[in-house]
Amino acid sequence: MSLPQKKVDVQTILLYIPNQIGYLRIITAIISFLCMPRYPVPTVVFYGISSILDAFDGYAARKFNQGTRFGAVLDMVTDRCATSSLIVYLAVLYPQFTFVWQVLVSLDLASHYIHMYAMLSAGSTSHKNVEASQSKLLNLYYTNRKVLFAVCALNELFYVAIYLRYYGFFYLGTIMAVLSTPIWIFKQIANVIQLQSASLILARLDVDEHNKKRSQ
C-alpha cells in the first residue's frame, strides 16, 4: 500500500533543488558584477561558477523530477541577465564598440524572450521542445545537451576573453577569443534564426485566431 504523497505548495516549488541552484547562480553572478571593475580573476571565477552551474540545475530537475515553469524561466532569465550584464560592462571598457554591444544585447534578449513566449503560446511545456520541422539548427541546439552546454559555455568564454584582454591578460584573452569565436558566431546565427522562427509561430497563431473569429 503506497503512502499518500505530500501536497506541493508554492514554498515547496521555490525550494526545489534546481531552483536553489538557480539562486546560487544569481548570487555568484552578482558577486562577479561587483568584482568586475577591479578584480578580474575573482570576476572570472564567480562568473564561471554561475555559468557552470547552469548545467547542474537541468540535471537536478531531471534527476529529482523537479522541472517547473518557474525553474525554466529562472534559468533563462539568469542566463540572459548575466550575459547582458557582462556585455554592458564591455561597453564601458570598449566604448568605441558601444553600438555593437547594444545590438548583441538586443538580439540576445529579443530572440530568447520571443522564443519562450511563442513556444508557451503554442502549447509547449518548455522552450527547449523545438521540433526539427521548426528549425534543424535550433533542434540540435536545444535537444542535444552536449551541444547546448558547449555553445553556451564558449559563447560566454568569448565575452570573458574580451574582458580579460583589457585587464592585462592579453595573450590568454586572445587565445580564448580565437578559440571561441566560431561558436560565438554560431550562437549569434542561432539567435537570429530563433527570432525569425518564433516570430513566424506567433504570426501563424494570430492568423488562426483571426480566421477563427471571422468564421464565427
**Are the C-beta atoms of residues 30 and 62 closer than 8 Å to each other?**
no
State residue 124's pLDDT score: 83
C-alpha grid cell, residue 138: 535550433
Percent of the chain with pLDDT over 90: 85
Residue with cell 546565427: 189
The pTM of this model reads: 0.92
pLDDT in tens, 77-125: 999 999 999 999 999 999 999 999 999 999 999 999 999 999 989 988 7
Residue with cell 534543424: 136
State residue 5's pLDDT score: 60
State residue 1's pLDDT score: 45
pLDDT in tens, 112-161: 999 999 998 998 877 888 988 888 999 999 999 899 999 999 999 999 99
In b/e form, how buried is each residue of 7-43, taking b as 16+ CB within 10 angstroms?
eeeeeeeeebbbbebbeebbebbebbbebbeeebeeb
Is the predicted pLDDT of residue 164 greater than 70, yes or no?
yes
Count the neighbouring beta carbons within 10 Å of the beta carbon of residue 102.
13
- pLDDT confidence of 70, banded at 50, 70, 90? very high
State residue 209's pLDDT score: 93
Q: What is the mean pLDDT of the chain?
A: 94
State residue 28's pLDDT score: 98
Domain range annotation of the chain:
10-215
- Please identify every residue annotated as catalytic: 79
10-215 CATH choice from 1.20.120, 1.10.287, 1.10.3210, 1.10.1060: 1.20.120
Nearest to 117 by CA among 197, 13, 212: 197
C-alpha grid cell, residue 37: 571593475
State residue 174's pLDDT score: 97
What's the per-residue H, E or C state across 155-193?
HHHHHHHHHHHHCCCHHHHHHHHHHHHHHHHHHHHHHHH
DSSP state of 100: H
| More confident position, 184 or 143 | 184
- Rounded to an integer, the average pLDDT of 27-42 is 98
State residue 4's pLDDT score: 53
Angstrom distance (rounded) from CA 18 to CA 12: 12
- pLDDT confidence of 2, banded at 50, 70, 90? very low
